[in-house]
Amino acid sequence: MNQETTQIDKKIGQDQYLLFYVGGDIYAIEALTTSEIVEYSRTTKVPVMPSFVKGVTNIRGNIVPVIDLQDRFGLGKSTIDAKSSIVVINYKIEDRVIQIGIIIDEVYEVDDINTNQIKDAPEFGAKIDKRFILRMGKYQGNYLAILNTQTILDVNELSKLVG
């Protein structure tokens, strides 16, 4: 067996995730849902929005709405520092994809989590609302929440909150 085949075999049964800190805890999202990670940049406030909608920012010529993930989880507002970043996520709405940014405290890494180490989210006991958790993944001996970006960034729900 050649080295290329061995590398392919290692990847079978694994999915790649972006791991990051928010409010002192590590969370993960499927890496394929992300477009890019950029250094935190100032946002322009948009009137009549929930507190967790920080505003909009210009990323490579595109106006991108930005969500404070810690505030969205009901854990207080993020403290912005030199390690803060905006993760740009491709959010599917009907038959199109829009980009929405989430503020994170710090990128931890991008890594694989073996699919047999991924379980359903518990019904209770999580620090954040269960509907925001897609699954739980065992990473380096500890379980972490794999977030459901479609629920966290639900544009229809966000619109109702201000209406």
Q: Assess whether pLDDT exceeds 60 at residue 84.
A: yes
Parallel, antiparallel or unpaired: strands 142-147 and 25-30: parallel
DSSP 8-state code for residue 42? -
Per-residue pLDDT, 5? 36
The neighbouring-strand residues paired with 37 are: 87
Rg (CA), the chain: 17
Please indicate, yes or no, whether the overall pTM of this predicted structure exceeds 0.75.
Answer: yes
Token pair, residue 141, equals: 């001996």
Q: How confident is the model at residue 26 (pLDDT cuts 50, 70, 90)?
A: very high
Which residue segments constitute the domains of the chain, with CATH numbers given?
15-162 (2.40.50.180)
Burial class for 15, CB neighbours closer than 10 Å (0-12, 13-18, 19+)? middle
Query: β-pairing, 142-147 with 62-68?
Result: unpaired
Q: What is the mean pLDDT of residues 56-70?
A: 94
Spatial separation of the C-alpha atoms in residues 101 and 29, rounded to whole Å: 13
Location of structure tokens 């499927």: 30
